[in-house]
Structure 1
Amino acid sequence: MTAFLRNTWRGLTSMRTALILLFLLALAAMPGALLPQRSLNPPRTADYIAAHGWWGTLLDRLEFFDVYSSVWFSAIYLMLFISLVGCLLPRTVDYARSMRAQPVLTPRNLARMPHHAQATLPEEPAAVIADAKARLSGWRTVERDEDGGGKTLSAEKGYLRELGNLVFHFAMLGLIVALALGKMFNYEGQVIVLADGSEFCNSGTAGYDTFRPGLRVDGTDLTPFCVRVDDLDVSYFPDGQAEQFTVRMDYQAGADLDAGTWRPYDLRVNEPLRVVGDRVYLLGHGYAPTFTVTFPNGESRTQTIQWRTVDPQTLLSQGATKFDPPGTTDAEQRRKSQIAITGLFAPTAQYDGTLLTSGHPDLQDPAVAVDVLRGDLGIDSGRGQSIFEVDQSLVDQGRLVRVARQNLEVGGQLRLDDGTTVRFDGVERWAYLQVSHDPTQVWVLVFAVAMILGLGTSLTIKRRRLWVRATPDDAGRTVVSVGGLARTDQAGYGEEFSRIAAALRTPRREP
């Protein structure tokens, strides 16, 4: 049993196993890129499972829609971590020992070395070795004496190759740890903010439209800061393609929250606001029409609600603005008098008969084509519903009835049969923002750069050894033998050895 455990540990901590596990980790991550993930888009995941029947159900049971939190992905991740730790620790100890050790003894027969040269010089062996030592500047050298008055010099270079290899693998290990911690403590949320001075504060998950927390984030301890979107400038090319998006905004964080101080910032695509460790990105923009409903009793209500873009080229938008009648204490009567304004909004109106479409994404001639629905909107049911549409089941049941349809330009209005009027007042822009928090992003960058530097070092530096033996002959001269060995590969070492050997075999000129 002990032998089995020992062999299993040796197999798990070998570099070959680490490389196999790294490949398996990359392979295991592929379903996360090809299949919808429940943590990112639950509705799309549910639709995919329903559309693929038993196959979708099987994939769901195998956790292919929760790849990065699945048991099998976590097992590969953990085994890779253990394998790298078990592999690197002994190698680090061996490297430390090799750094303290002296270059190996000069072999007895240098002629058997892959690289070998020999010459006879008039200098004494001590002078030859001293000259060789001076020429091998930057090499680790050790000088030894031999019987008969001979001397040897052992030299070695390229220790940084193994250091680069260790740096690469330790950086990979650090990257794995940083990514794992990032998944535990990061969060990411998206929110739409009207560009009319509306504010958003990162005080809890309720303020977001969508929120994706890390495994250890419950939304109660988010980084506090606030942003206020004052305006959104968009410039277009003549063909309608967007040229530049700029959100004129203010933000406050830290002591500014207590002092009420706002600091200006121009937010652009790929130029996020970095504040207290979080990043605020601009993902997109759209339009929010403003409607005023005046009820028969003379009371009016005005709402500006974002509508969803259905054509990204022209920013034709679709949505639903919902109103609750004022001054009604009878719950049944109130549910029968609720109003929803649904339809299309065109920033630059074009008509095909009475059919409204948009010819340009900029606000050149805004108009809406609306259906006015009256009845029970289902907002008292306690169930959440989309702000972009009404519950179609209520329409099918006859609890929500269309009472008017009309195209309206800014300032235009229509009157319902009970005297209620609906007026299209104008439009505001909205900015789609994303807040990202990742406390390990700096470490991920550091480890990634370290991996590149370590890999470059290990690929460019070669480990090689060189020996010089100087032996006196009977004629009072010195026989110089030079041998060389590449510890890793011989590519490129032949030219270097020939250059060094030629210099060592050249008699030193007196100044």
Structure 2
Amino acid sequence: MTSVDDRPAAPPAGAPRRRVNPVLALLRNSWRQLTSMRTALILLFLLAIAAIPGSVLPQRGVNPEKVNQYFVDHPDLAPRLDQIGMFEVFGSVWFSAIYLLLFTSLVGCILPRARDHVRALRMRPPAAPKRLERLPQHAVLEAPAAADPEAIAAVLRRRRWRVTVRGNEVSAEKGYLKETGNLLFHVSLVAVLLGVALGSWYGWHGNRILVSGADNAFCNTRQQYAEASLGPRVDSADLPSFCLTLEKFEADYLPSGQASRYWATVKVDEPDGSERTAGFSVNSPLRLGSANVYLLGNGYAPILRYTDKYGRTQTSTAPFLRTGDQNGTEEGVALFPDANVDPKTGKRNPDQQVAFDGLYLPTAPDTAPFVSSQFPEERNPAVVLAAYRGNLGLDAGIPGSVYQLDKRQLGNGKLKQIGDKKLSLGETWKLDDGSTLEFVGTQPYITIAVRHAPGQTMMLVACVTLLLGLMGSLFGRRRRVWFRVTPPDGGSPTSGSSLVEAGGLPRTEHPGFAPEFAQLVAAVSDGERDDRRAREGDE
């Protein structure tokens, strides 16, 4: 042990103070500000505001077609929004910065609070103050049934109070659930952020239209998706290997046209070469290893058989997309870029390409106008098409949608409309050059989303724990009570009639503390042992 003489001497009164490194001071103050609860709340609020553009504006990772359409509709505003990452909000630098700062702030805020909370749990309740009458709750018991400190401690323990006996004093404390719930809430919030990060790094998803029939089978490769997004830690070779073939799609509708049931039956080809039949619906995804297949939508692909002027026949089974009305009206295009190939030369004339653009009506009305379906189920199927001949613009190498006609070719005169007609099932349309178009039938299709979200389970558990912690933080109340046994005439606590003084102090606002304190005093006064009344004081 160091003696008094061995202690370092205090600096002289006039000695200069050691200068603090300004860089270290700046870093220390910055860290304190970042890990404060106020900063965490501000960052959480900023993260919520930053997510609003991702919900309002179309995102490239979710719907690139709508992003392209936004550029067409807003040619001046869209490039400016694109420069600041408004079409890729959740992958932008500024969103990631807020995300990482919030994560760091929460971790820096939780760790010292968790350390202090564990330390408080291991500490004994504090000793009784000298003057209990100054506490918000105070009572004096004369000759109670539980007149010695150990008996009083037994009554409190049955009510789940943490109790410490110090001589003739009993200290008890309760309500640690509030701080425990508070810590659980913040730890769960960190777990939610980790789950989001895990899903962003190692997750992937892709969307695809799957038409019925063996010729339209889909295999899980990135090239076969209409739109796909892989996390930065995911490579194309990491995608699970399987193939899907739509065998049947069933839909039931109410008389109002609202769907009551969707069910898709697919054949699954496993990596080991085995085959099985599986079904899934909107709220019941198909689980294939680490991937889930979700049913997003459905429709029909009209089968159109075109015979050009040279007698060569081609068939198109192109999906028509829903327009958004409840009765299943669809619009799309059937392209025949290889039409009218001269049999003598074998060369294709790009100015003789043919396309048909228009609507598909599952239940067409009996009389004009034929602009919308009357019911989503196929009761009177028909197509309303406009025929075009000319250069479709497919050879220019410019990306475009396979579900819409390139209107730019119409504007520059390279593509011209040559007629329009409504075709019922099995009907044939003869065009001006002798070529024909026949409406053969339809094939159902479904829109599927294949997703792998590795952080989904973590986020679910974290959200449940977050709610539990929030309830504990809101409804838990920290409070303390003390009992002091005063022996008669300074004798021992067990001899004669003793006087018991009680005091109570709520650590936070607690309107129900006064009745609870009165119950404790009554229990000590009559020495009750009823477990039912003891449970009334539980958290």
User: Could you tell me the TM-score, scaled by structure 1's length?
Assistant: 0.89
**CA-CA distance at 1:345 after TM superposition:** 2.0
Mapped to 2, the partners of 1:56 and 1:288 lie a distance apart of 33
- Is the Cα–Cα contact under 8 Å of residues 427 and 438 in structure 2 kept in the other structure? yes
* Partner in structure 1 of residue 493 of structure 2: none
**CA-CA distance at 1:57 after TM superposition:** 4.9
* Partner in structure 1 of residue 275 of structure 2: 261
**CA-CA distance at 1:173 after TM superposition:** 0.7
When residues 342 and 249 of structure 1 are mapped into structure 2, their CA distance, relative to the original with a 3 A threshold, is same
- Is the Cα–Cα contact under 8 Å of residues 245 and 268 in structure 1 kept in the other structure? yes
- Is the Cα–Cα contact under 8 Å of residues 155 and 527 in structure 2 kept in the other structure? no
Q: What CA deviation, in whole Å up to 9, does each residue of 1:334-378 have, x standing for no partner?
A: 424432232222222225457564322221121223333333333
- Worse-superposed segment, 3-12 or 432-441: 3-12
- Is the Cα–Cα contact under 8 Å of residues 391 and 409 in structure 2 kept in the other structure? yes
- Determine whether 1:170 maps to 2:190: no
- Is the Cα–Cα contact under 8 Å of residues 337 and 374 in structure 1 kept in the other structure? yes
When residues 198 and 452 of structure 1 are mapped into structure 2, their CA distance, relative to the original with a 3 A threshold, is farther
* Partner in structure 2 of residue 302 of structure 1: 315
- Determine whether 1:501 maps to 2:521: yes
- Is the Cα–Cα contact under 8 Å of residues 158 and 464 in structure 1 kept in the other structure? yes
Q: What CA deviation, in whole Å up to 9, does each residue of 1:277-336 have, x standing for no partner?
A: 222222211111112223455442222111122352332222221222367585754424
Mapped to 2, the partners of 1:122 and 1:348 lie a distance apart of 87
| Paired letter, 1:388 | Y
> Alignment partner for residue 32 of structure 1, among 48, 54, 59?
54
- Determine whether 1:286 maps to 2:299: yes
> Alignment partner for residue 112 of structure 1, among 134, 140, 143?
134
Mapped to 1, the partners of 2:528 and 2:360 lie a distance apart of 91
Mapped to 1, the partners of 2:120 and 2:203 lie a distance apart of 42
* Partner in structure 1 of residue 394 of structure 2: 379
When residues 357 and 459 of structure 1 are mapped into structure 2, their CA distance, relative to the original with a 3 A threshold, is closer
When residues 116 and 345 of structure 1 are mapped into structure 2, their CA distance, relative to the original with a 3 A threshold, is same
| % identical equivalent positions | 39
SS at match of 1:499: helix
When residues 386 and 51 of structure 1 are mapped into structure 2, their CA distance, relative to the original with a 3 A threshold, is closer
- Worse-superposed segment, 82-91 or 458-467: 458-467
| Paired letter, 1:477 | S
- Is the Cα–Cα contact under 8 Å of residues 137 and 517 in structure 2 kept in the other structure? yes
**Pairing 1:89-100 to 2, within 5 Å after superposition:** 89-100=111-122
- Determine whether 1:80 maps to 2:102: yes
When residues 136 and 418 of structure 1 are mapped into structure 2, their CA distance, relative to the original with a 3 A threshold, is same
Mapped to 2, the partners of 1:329 and 1:217 lie a distance apart of 51
| Paired letter, 1:187 | W
- Determine whether 1:405 maps to 2:420: yes
- Worse-superposed segment, 491-500 or 152-161: 152-161
- The structure where strand makes up a greater share of residues is 1
| Paired letter, 1:313 | Q
When residues 237 and 503 of structure 1 are mapped into structure 2, their CA distance, relative to the original with a 3 A threshold, is closer
| Paired letter, 1:430 | Y
Q: What CA deviation, in whole Å up to 9, does each residue of 1:78-130 have, x standing for no partner?
A: 1111111111111111112112211111222211221111122277x9x5212
- Determine whether 1:245 maps to 2:262: yes
**CA-CA distance at 1:42 after TM superposition:** 4.1
> Alignment partner for residue 360 of structure 2, among 345, 358, 365?
345
| Paired letter, 1:260 | S
**CA-CA distance at 1:184 after TM superposition:** 2.2
> Alignment partner for residue 503 of structure 2, among 480, 483, 493?
483
- Determine whether 1:226 maps to 2:243: yes
| Paired letter, 2:327 | T
> Alignment partner for residue 92 of structure 2, among 54, 62, 70?
70
- Worse-superposed segment, 40-49 or 312-321: 40-49
**CA-CA distance at 1:499 after TM superposition:** 0.7
**CA-CA distance at 1:449 after TM superposition:** 0.5
- Worse-superposed segment, 235-244 or 426-435: 235-244
* Partner in structure 1 of residue 212 of structure 2: 195
Mapped to 2, the partners of 1:343 and 1:199 lie a distance apart of 23
Mapped to 2, the partners of 1:485 and 1:200 lie a distance apart of 72
| Structure 1 residues without counterparts, runs of 5 or longer | 146-150
Q: What CA deviation, in whole Å up to 9, does each residue of 1:402-457 have, x standing for no partner?
A: 44433322222133454433221111211111222211101000100110111112
* Partner in structure 2 of residue 128 of structure 1: 148
User: Could you tell me the TM-score, scaled by structure 2's length?
Assistant: 0.84
When residues 382 and 241 of structure 1 are mapped into structure 2, their CA distance, relative to the original with a 3 A threshold, is same
Count residues in correspondence: 498
SS at match of 1:107: coil
**CA-CA distance at 1:233 after TM superposition:** 1.4
| Paired letter, 1:31 | P
Q: Over aligned residue pairs, what C-alpha RMSD do you find?
A: 2.7
Q: What CA deviation, in whole Å up to 9, does each residue of 1:49-80 have, x standing for no partner?
A: 67557665544443333322233222221111
Mapped to 1, the partners of 2:369 and 2:182 lie a distance apart of 71
When residues 315 and 68 of structure 1 are mapped into structure 2, their CA distance, relative to the original with a 3 A threshold, is same
> Alignment partner for residue 435 of structure 1, among 439, 447, 450?
450
- Is the Cα–Cα contact under 8 Å of residues 25 and 73 in structure 1 kept in the other structure? yes
* Partner in structure 2 of residue 148 of structure 1: none
Mapped to 2, the partners of 1:122 and 1:169 lie a distance apart of 45
- Is the Cα–Cα contact under 8 Å of residues 200 and 207 in structure 1 kept in the other structure? no
- Is the Cα–Cα contact under 8 Å of residues 351 and 357 in structure 1 kept in the other structure? no
When residues 49 and 347 of structure 1 are mapped into structure 2, their CA distance, relative to the original with a 3 A threshold, is closer
* Partner in structure 2 of residue 144 of structure 1: 166
**CA-CA distance at 1:491 after TM superposition:** 2.1
Mapped to 2, the partners of 1:427 and 1:507 lie a distance apart of 84
SS at match of 2:398: coil
